[in-house]
A and B are shown apart, each in its own frame.
Chain A
Amino acid sequence: MPTRIYLDANATEPLRPEAREAALAALDLTGNPASVHGFGRAARAKLEAARETIAARFGGQPADLVFTSGGTEANALAIAGLAAGRRRIISAIEHDAVRNAAPEAALIPVDRQGVADLEALAGLLAKGPAAFVALMLANNETGVIQPIAGAASLCRRFGAHLHVDAVQGAGRIACDLAALGADSLALSGHKLGAPAGAGALLLTAEAAARLTPMITGGGQERGRRGGTPPLAAIAGFAAAAATARPSPTLAALRDAAEAAALAAGAHICGAGVARLPNTTCLALPGVKAETQVIALDLAGIAVSAGAACSAGKIAQSHVLAAMGLGALAGQAIRVSLPWHASAADIDAFAAAYRTMAARLSRRAA
């Protein structure tokens, strides 16, 4: 087995040392933040410090941040807790965490580059009052950054709530609730390089005031989300949030990976628009995505395609289909560089990709 190289950061980022240290320290802390005694107070102090760090990092107030089990729950809480009685409008490229929580939603189409069509959104908003809109900050498969500011001003004009799934964008590009003009933001710890197990819904004060909980339980999180919070995961989340920054180095490495893939016959999905610095979506005409993922895995390079279901089966990408890529939608893989990617990793990827493309493209032809 060759050395394994991890280029699937959008599935989960490798643990950052800062997050590891913070999580380990929290693991040794006995105490439930809800307890009255000294142990409880110490745990509570850690929890609230983390809340302040994360809220500040993403442009909100600590009082308006609700810890959840992760990004999926944050999105589900936003929809269950804020969209009641409102028409739901989501982009056609949202993650399943949003799509499956709002199955009957009207869809905002995207263009061939994978950017949500704001004119279409305006049309949908104009159809009636009181909408709940979900538009992701950046797409998980293509990395294409969505026009949040534009959507926010439309939503304001029509009195709609704008929810932003910032799971992939947070830490990789500017992500600030106030600056984006959004009403709620879903965040995930492990996508920032923390251990999995914690996420957050960051709200405006107005949205926080009308949030209905999904889980009441013991009234934790100011009655917005019951259950004892996972302190180690949350401490790691805060440390990762404080550390993660947009990286020009990653963008350069990503560009190098793309150049190699292009030379080997790849088509880059969404190449013409602003994207996350760490993500590229490479279609190899005529070669099934699952074959590419397997061939690269056997060569020691970990990438992904579409969305893997719980069985590990690779399903057709609804994102690339929405972009009108036709057959290419089933022939694209996602390469997402982790925060610690190196030039050597990209060299290894380029070599493996060239070998794979030469072998499989010839067969496809």
Chain B
Amino acid sequence: MSGGVDSSVVAGLLAEAGHEVIGITLQLYDHGAATARKGACCAGQDIHDAKRVADHLGITHYVIDAEARFRHAVIEDFASAYAAGETPVPCVRCNQSVKFGDLMALAVDLGAEALATGHYVRRIEGVAGPELHRASDLTRDQSWFLFATTAAQLAFCRFPLGEMASKNLVRAHALRFGLPVANKPDSQDICFVPDGRYAELVARLRPEAATAGEIVTREGVPLGRHEGIARYTVGQAKRLGTAAMVDGVPQMVVAIDAARRRVVVAPRGIVRDRLVRLREVNWLIPPPEAPISCLVKLRAREEPKAARVTAGAGGEAAVELAAPALAAPGQACVFYDGSRVLGGGFIRATQVDEDGVGAVSEPTYGGVAQR
């Protein structure tokens, strides 16, 4: 229970259905009660809100100290990824370690029969066990963030909001339950950088990622300077300064060379990946022995696109995109069969490929509910 509307409604629905509900709120970081910022997950005010919701629903509630684990598994990993020239997805790390790792272990220890969360995904009983599917409301779908959920975790988890047709319906339930958080705004940012200024956090933990360096072409020709690779993501067109435009052609970031602290740019739209390599792949189907044709999503907010995925050894996989696209190292690539999540992995840094043209959207954390 984050103290937000979604998990509060989940608790209310389950209590209404007659389950013995135990609410757990994870204290993930010391946000400082002084900020009292609304709309961010698990900060001081949010823990207070979660307790008030639990009181209101008449359910048992506990606050678990997950600060040390969160710092190590999520925040430090986040900073390290930027220092390595990648663009991390901290929500996936949090789900892997804190939520579906430690929290689930606690639920099992306490003799719980299931762990329910406020995620917008569907869990559907299939012939070969539970399947993970996109949410009914595709604008809320969080399946991309949950690709690393293992079969064992999926078996134990329940996602009552996955079937909700819209967020308005969820708010209607909150109002019906009389929840004090019914009108609370959605969280938009990365929860541990509620002001959105993640580069400052990265600079504090990994000063080398905040050290100035060169902006260069793919041939290594210097075009300008940058103030730390942590401020750049593959696909980005902002913050390029004098390198933003070369001979009247707008440029964008196509690679980050962490070792030499270089940001590599190329004319917008000309550099695309046809082959994307993945690591730490999780399969929610038996790992296919032959390449499979499916849909993939390379970022949180985009329509799935056609691809062929080949499972490799050591948790790797290779994704051949039908239409080349730009893949940002560190982001997730999730495989779908229609609405069903088949698996996914983290994008590895790849060789620059010059095929293809097309518009590029910038990766963003704004506007999509995290977790």
Question: Which residues of A come within 8 Å of B, CB atoms?
Answer: 290-291, 294-295, 297-298, 311-316, 359-360, 363
- Are the C-beta atoms of A291 and B60 separated by less than 8 Å? no
Provide a sorted-by-A list of 27 A–B residue pairs whose CB atoms are within 8 angstroms: A290-B64, A291-B106, A291-B109, A291-B110, A294-B106, A294-B110, A295-B109, A295-B110, A297-B62, A298-B22, A298-B110, A298-B111, A311-B27, A311-B48, A311-B63, A312-B62, A312-B63, A313-B27, A313-B47, A313-B64, A314-B63, A314-B65, A316-B65, A359-B111, A360-B109, A363-B108, A363-B109
- Are the C-beta atoms of A312 and B65 separated by less than 8 Å? no
- Are the C-beta atoms of A313 and B65 separated by less than 8 Å? yes
- Are the C-beta atoms of B65 and A298 separated by less than 8 Å? no
User: How far, in angstroms, from A314 to B110 measured CA to CA in the complex?
Assistant: 17
A355: nearest chain-B partner, CB-CB: B111
B51 contacts which chain A residues (CB < 8 A)? 312
Which among B44, B60, B64 has the greatest number of chain A C-beta atoms within 10 A? B64
Min CB gap B57→A, angstroms = 15
Query: Quick one: given A291-B106, A298-B110, are A311 and B64 in contact (CB under 8 Å)?
Result: no
B22 contacts which chain A residues (CB < 8 A)? 298
- Are the C-beta atoms of A313 and B109 separated by less than 8 Å? no
Q: Which 9 A-B pairs have the closest CB atoms?
A: A313-B63, A312-B63, A311-B47, A313-B27, A313-B65, A294-B62, A311-B63, A291-B109, A360-B109
B65 contacts which chain A residues (CB < 8 A)? 290, 313-316
A306: nearest chain-B partner, CB-CB: B65
B46: nearest chain-A partner, CB-CB: A311
Interface string of B43-81 (1 = CB under 8 A from A): 010011001000000001011110000000000000000
User: How far, in angstroms, from A315 to B22 measured CA to CA in the complex?
Assistant: 20
User: How far, in angstroms, from A359 to B111 measured CA to CA in the complex?
Assistant: 9
A294: nearest chain-B partner, CB-CB: B62
A290 contacts which chain B residues (CB < 8 A)? 62, 64-65
User: How far, in angstroms, from A294 to B60 measured CA to CA in the complex?
Assistant: 10
User: How far, in angstroms, from A216 to B82 measured CA to CA in the complex?
Assistant: 55
Which among B27, B48, B109 has the greatest number of chain A C-beta atoms within 10 A? B109
A298 contacts which chain B residues (CB < 8 A)? 22, 60, 110-111
Interface string of B119-144 (1 = CB under 8 A from A): 00000000000000000000000000
Q: Besides A290-B65, A316-B65, 7 other CB < 8 A contacts?
A: A291-B110, A294-B106, A311-B27, A311-B44, A311-B48, A313-B47, A314-B63
B62: nearest chain-A partner, CB-CB: A294
Min CB gap A290→B, angstroms = 6
Min CB gap A139→B, angstroms = 22
User: How far, in angstroms, from A297 to B62 measured CA to CA in the complex?
Assistant: 10
A364: nearest chain-B partner, CB-CB: B109
User: How far, in angstroms, from A316 to B27 measured CA to CA in the complex?
Assistant: 14
Min CB gap B152→A, angstroms = 15
Min CB gap A270→B, angstroms = 24
B44 contacts which chain A residues (CB < 8 A)? 311
Min CB gap A152→B, angstroms = 38
Min CB gap B106→A, angstroms = 6
A291 contacts which chain B residues (CB < 8 A)? 106, 109-110
Min CB gap A219→B, angstroms = 34
Min CB gap A359→B, angstroms = 7
- Are the C-beta atoms of A359 and B62 separated by less than 8 Å? no
Which among A295, A312, A315, A360 has the greatest number of chain B C-beta atoms within 10 A? A312
B24: nearest chain-A partner, CB-CB: A294
User: How far, in angstroms, from A359 to B106 measured CA to CA in the complex?
Assistant: 12
Min CB gap A228→B, angstroms = 30
- Are the C-beta atoms of B63 and A297 separated by less than 8 Å? no
In chain B, positions 93-133 with a C-beta closer than 8 Å to chain A are: 106, 108-111
User: How far, in angstroms, from A359 to B48 measured CA to CA in the complex?
Assistant: 31
A359 contacts which chain B residues (CB < 8 A)? 109, 111
